[in-house]
Amino acid sequence: MMKKIVLYGTLLFLLSLGLVGCGSSDASTDPNAAELEEMIERLLSNNLLVPLGDIPIPADNPMTQEVLELGQILYFDPRLSGNNERSCMTCHIPELGYGDARATFEKFDGSDGPRNSPTVINSGYYTSNFWDGRAASLEEQALGPIQDPGEMNQPLDELIVKLKGIDGYEELFINAGFEDGITAVNIGKAIAAFERLVVVKDTPYDRFLQGDRDALTAEEIRGLDLFTSKASCITCHQGENLSDNLFHNIGIESDDKGRAAVTGNDSDLGAIRTPGLYGLTHTAPYMRDGSIATLEDVVEYYNRGGDNHPNKSGLINPLNLTDAEKADLVAFLRALGGQPPIFTKPELPGMN
Ligand code: HEC
Ligand code: HEC
């Protein structure tokens, strides 16, 4: 009798410490822990889950110190715009996850632009750039916004004359190894090289995939498991950088032609290049029209099977996630947040 009471007391004491039950990590006695172990094994052997490696660097644009410094100057220099007021950082602000925290960008005339300013984070991992993939590389991409009348409104031939007239600029190009000095191609190369420094990797997710089983919490592991199974996010968000680099229409109701504007194919109407998911905690609002404010809302969106664009992909369907499952999925997405490097405006030539 006495012994029983003592045992019972000990059990209560252990329960109060959280040493038995759900919190336990002893797989041999706890069914939840055993399930988690199974999940971990399944996830670690899923070859669509790949830790993010080093960013690919084109052979003809090495990331030397001089090129990177020049790229940083160009990225932050408002003289790259027609009215000398806008730089890349106007819409890709380091402290705002290299986006602008707006649904869509503010045009040169102050009105709302057609698309969301995507983050620069990890943009060097894509096989094409822009929401519709119309640029083949960051080098090519960088020259787009400079000339775009709604963005920086600066014709390139005039820009080259302008920069050549600024004391010290041409010298920076020459010192960076650009023998032909200030040209559009070299401007694109230097900015692109700098952008390849804006990377989020080595997140808890990556460390988990490398075998550190404690890098993710149980909630995040369950979220990742849902990501690869019931929620089927991995159908498109897969491989390095969690993007298949393909174009899909996830059902957002919008007149935006998406990929069809590039290919001319009706089957591509509203299709967008799958975004990577690193750095997400810094880059709200989401989607190419900035129509979704939070990660919780993103998960709700997918859970209801998206909205009703007539060209919606057959891969987007209602998911029937429970509230707990939605929370797990969001927890996993947050584990991809990381901390992007914060670059600041350097001293600009001719501006002291
Ligand atoms: C006025 C706002 C604005 C300015 C200024 C601006 N951008 Fe953008 N940026 C955008 C928008 C909007 C998009 C998406 C456009 C689209 O997909 O059609 C974009 C797309 C991008 C992308 C593609 C990312 C991806 O996911 O593929 C990169 C990289 C980028 N910009 C870098 C730059 C650089 C470098 C500069 C300066 C030379 C710059 N931007 C200037 C708004 C801006
Ligand atoms: C059919 C392919 C596909 C599936 C399945 C899919 N996505 Fe996406 N995802 C995309 C595309 C394409 C976009 C960009 C859509 C747009 O902007 O119009 C996107 C956008 C996102 C964004 C916003 C990223 C940003 O930078 O704005 C998040 C977050 C996201 N998806 C998470 C998920 C999650 C979580 C799941 C699973 C519940 C999922 N996706 C399933 C293709 C897919």
CB-CB contact of 27 with 37 (8 Å): yes
Residues 273-318 have pLDDT tens digits of: 999 999 999 999 999 999 999 999 999 999 999 999 999 999 999 9
Please, are residues 90 and 262 in contact by the beta-carbon 8 Å criterion? no
Gap between the Cα atoms of 235 and 243, Å rounded: 9
Residue 9, pLDDT score: 47
Q: Is the pTM of this model over 0.85?
A: yes
Atom of ligand 2 nearest to the CA of 254: 18
Report the Cα 350 to chain-centroid distance in Å: 34
Helix (H, G, I), strand (E, B) or coil at 106: strand
What DSSP state is assigned to residue 41? Answer: H
| CA–CA distance, 352 with 347 (Å, rounded to integer) | 8
Other Cβ atoms within 10 Å of 42 Cβ, number: 13
Q: Which domains does the chain have, with CATH numbers?
A: 39-54+201-334 (1.10.760.10), 65-195 (1.10.760.10)
Of the candidates 143, 145, 186, the one whose C-alpha atom is nearest the C-alpha of residue 164 is: 186
Choose one of 119, 236, 254 to mutate for the ligand 2 pocket test, by most ligand atoms within 8 angstroms of C-beta: 236
Name the pLDDT band for 4 (thresholds 50, 70, 90).
Answer: very low
171 is catalytic: no
Kindly report, residue by residue over 85-98, the tens digit of the pLDDT. Answer: 999 999 999 999 99
State the ligand closest to the CA atom of 90: 1
Residue with CA at minimum distance from ligand 1 atom 35: 142
The predicted pLDDT at position 21 comes to: 44
Q: Tokens 């799958």 label which residue?
A: 274
Tell me which residue has tokens 């401007």. Answer: 187
**Could you tell me if 291 and 252 are in contact, meaning their C-beta atoms sit under 8 angstroms apart?**
yes
Mutate to test the pocket of ligand 1, among 90, 117, 122 (most ligand atoms within 8 A of CB): 117
Q: Which ligand is nearest to the CA of 98?
A: 1
